[in-house]
Amino acid sequence: MTTDGANANDRMRTDLAFRCEQCGHRWYYTRGRCPDCGEEEVTTDELGVGELLASTRVDVTPEDVRSPNRLGLVAFDDVQVIAQLDGEGVSVGDRVTFSGEHTLREGDEQTHPRLTPVATAE
């Protein structure tokens, strides 16, 4: 795996997309090569601002996961991400970022981003 464009620290970040140097395909989740063309030269890419496509609320969750647990499906251009969603009034079509440092499960040592509405500047 080459790391020219995506250094090891960026590969550990969970708030970034990856982009193929060869064909331009973008995806989420760390992979050793492009899922479309097999190219190993990949760079990281900011997700930016996305649009909420769908959301759901899970009331029965494992002991160490918040309840209720809202989840959102968001399109960041051609990349879709499903993750925990913050913001009570957020609805389909709203603009969100994938950011922040949140504990998704009690006891986790690592923090992760959540889907957060852009407009909620409180």
Q: Can you give the binding site for Zn ion, defined by CB under 5 A?
A: 20, 22-23, 25, 34, 36-37, 39
Nearer to Zn ion, 35 or 62 (CB): 35
Nearer to Zn ion, 41 or 86 (CB): 41
* Residue type at 116 in one-letter notation: T
The neighbouring-strand residues paired with 1 are: none
The least CB distance from residue 46 to Zn ion, in Å, is 19
**Nearest distance, CB of residue 25 and Zn ion, angstroms:** 5
Rounded CA gap, 44 and 57, in Å? 30
For residue 60, the minimal CB distance to Zn ion (Å) is 40
